[in-house]
Chain A
């Protein structure tokens, strides 16, 4: 979507991006109630910085426990950051008061994964769609017309406005969720796994709808999903998270065609392609072990216990090594946290050895 460029040009001044996140950290305190001896802080999101422009889609991928959903909730101030700043639409929203947050949320909305659990079953579609407008003090006289227009835009027949959510299919319910988010004409939509609960034949309907809405309204999307093929389809840029940090970020094609971080490489190689001939020849990069949890984050690079590249580099013997994770690894990987560093145009990776060593994704 080249739209963003022309939009910025139109605005004249080199306006700041719609969303600017700087060094945001969120620490949760867990009570270990069984052994009530101590509290272990969990760093769900650890020092994340990113930007999002108007009309742009940033895909956020990562496995369970990577912190991608927490990051989405931080943007909307559904959870408060422990440290760092979030600027949205030219305003620091990090320490906004409750009323300030409420006003801000009319411009920033969220669509949830579960179209079954996120809609009040006792409300009709009409009341679900007009509720956000009432909450945000939309001019009364304009509400019915706006509700009907948005329902049409998301492909809901306004004749069914008096029905209840349970009378709709999963795909239709997700349309209701999108209509609720869109009635206030927000500038940013945080979409948390918006199609993963839907039947495969329905996903394309919703993905096409989201694309069409974006073309028309120039809205920005933060698209959170674990399905890498879906994220590739919708995103302009992609950020990959691992245990609370962004480990690689860049333009979509750079991430998918020349990933630099070993985690991104193994993630992509794990996604099967529906082409039997290609699957037979495709190399797979196996990871060691499983993703850890946020309360026992490995020192140094948090990916080092599972990293194939660190093992390869240590085996080559050109760098100082040490015994770690039951094998021999470069000292840097075990001792030093790698920062995101540029590896290409707008493309950064947080790896001590970002040059592509060993195995590629395809």
Chain B
């Protein structure tokens, strides 16, 4: 990983300078708990621009999915957004009435979920479900919609779309179901597509095909793509910028190369060290992150990662003060660690 690598990323540099399409500011989401509200998304700010892929990395319970469900009005009750703004092209989605939000979803922003089977209705054909999306949002004839649906299936590489459009979801393989869902999500050419672990349930060769497809669609339609994942390899291959979440907060955010070559948060460093990769020495010992991911109802008063952190050493500020996300070596590279400077000399990846 040399500094020359950074220079070969013109697309990312260009998009970073552009105004963001989706701009989430200080978002807070809470659920009622026995002892007062439980904050599961805490002061989250992030943004993504057209033709850019932002990867959002975190474990279960880190708040990564909840951030986006909250943003597009799909948060399940009794969850509530209690603070912040979600600006889509300048419009604050949090202020929109439910009806307008419903109109906007699919048309301007859509989301693809992890489990491709539960996203499809088993009693309707694939074609019916795509056609429904098309006709619900625009005045278009049934025949026209069917043609458009076939074109969409073709676009997401479903073989023989004229015939397969009349199949039911169970007749599709897992990879094809995910493609069908992507076809539905892009049917109205949204400006932002949020893909939540879109390939976790799929085999590795299919995973590559799906992510390649999403990247192509991003470029073709000038979309912004948010890729929610826990796979750092996928991030390296497909993202321009990375946002790492932990305990409901953004703990690190920056350009892909900056975060991967010089992570400035101990959690990010630990993630790299704890997972075997194809390029790590085969017999290297893994360094696990001790303990468990935090319970959002029992977050410590200071840094949420402090109990598992290799660099906290029981320091008072780590234990008592929530670290704000501050610029580090690069102005665009944020870290929410009191002691990020101490990570500078660290060899991240053996």
Q: Do A and B bind?
A: yes
Task: List A residues at the B interface (Cβ < 8 Å).
Answer: 63-64, 169, 171, 199-205, 207-208, 226, 228-230, 232-233, 252-253, 256, 266-268, 270-280, 284, 286-287, 289-291
Question: Taking A266-B205, A287-B205 as contacts, is the C-beta distance between A208 and B278 under 8 angstroms?
Answer: no
Q: In the complex, how many residues of chain B place their beta carbon closer than 8 angstroms to a beta carbon of chain A?
A: 52
Residue pair A207, B233 in contact (C-beta under 8 Å):
no
Query: What's the nearest-Cβ distance from chain B to residue A72, in Å?
Result: 18
Residue pair B257, A267 in contact (C-beta under 8 Å):
no
Name the one of A169, A233, A271, A276 contacting B256, with C-beta atoms under 8 angstroms. A276
Residue pair A253, B286 in contact (C-beta under 8 Å):
no
Name the one of A200, A207, A253 contacting B271, with C-beta atoms under 8 angstroms. A200
Query: What's the nearest-Cβ distance from chain A to residue B284, in Å?
Result: 8
Q: State the CA gap A266–B209 with chains docked (Å).
A: 12
Query: What's the nearest-Cβ distance from chain A to residue B117, in Å?
Result: 13
Query: What's the nearest-Cβ distance from chain A to residue B52, in Å?
Result: 15
Q: State the CA gap A272–B332 with chains docked (Å).
A: 25
* Least CB separation from B292: chain A residue: A169
Given the complex, which residues of B lie within 8 Å of A200, measured CB to CB? 59, 230, 271, 274-275
Residue pair A229, B278 in contact (C-beta under 8 Å):
yes
A-B pairs, 8 with minimum CB distance: A272-B233, A233-B276, A204-B288, A277-B5, A274-B232, A204-B286, A63-B203, A201-B289
Binds A, one of B75-83, B143-151, B234-242, B316-324: B234-242
| Interface of A: prevailing SS | helix
A selection of 24 A-B contacts at a CB cut-off of 8 Å is A63-B203, A199-B59, A202-B292, A204-B276, A204-B286, A204-B289, A229-B275, A229-B276, A233-B280, A256-B278, A266-B205, A267-B204, A267-B205, A270-B208, A271-B233, A272-B233, A272-B234, A273-B236, A273-B278, A274-B235, A276-B1, A287-B205, A289-B159, A290-B173
Query: What's the nearest-Cβ distance from chain A to residue B95, in Å?
Result: 35
Given the complex, which residues of A lie within 8 Å of B276, measured CB to CB? 204, 207, 229-230, 232-233
Given the complex, which residues of A lie within 8 Å of B203, measured CB to CB? 63-64, 226, 291
Name the one of A252, A276, A291 contacting B260, with C-beta atoms under 8 angstroms. A276
Given the complex, which residues of A lie within 8 Å of B236, measured CB to CB? 272-276, 279
Task: List B residues at the A interface (Cβ < 8 Å).
Answer: 1-2, 5, 8, 59-60, 159, 173-176, 203-209, 230-238, 256-257, 260-261, 270-272, 274-280, 282, 285-290, 292-293, 308, 349
Of the candidates A232, A233, A287, A291, the one having the most CB atoms from chain B within 10 angstroms of its own CB is A233
Name the one of A252, A253, A276 contacting B257, with C-beta atoms under 8 angstroms. A276
Given the complex, which residues of A lie within 8 Å of B232, measured CB to CB? 274
Residue pair B260, A275 in contact (C-beta under 8 Å):
yes
* Least CB separation from A232: chain B residue: B282
Query: What's the nearest-Cβ distance from chain A to residue B122, in Å?
Result: 14
Given the complex, which residues of A lie within 8 Å of B274, measured CB to CB? 200-201, 203-204
Query: What's the nearest-Cβ distance from chain A to residue B62, in Å?
Result: 9
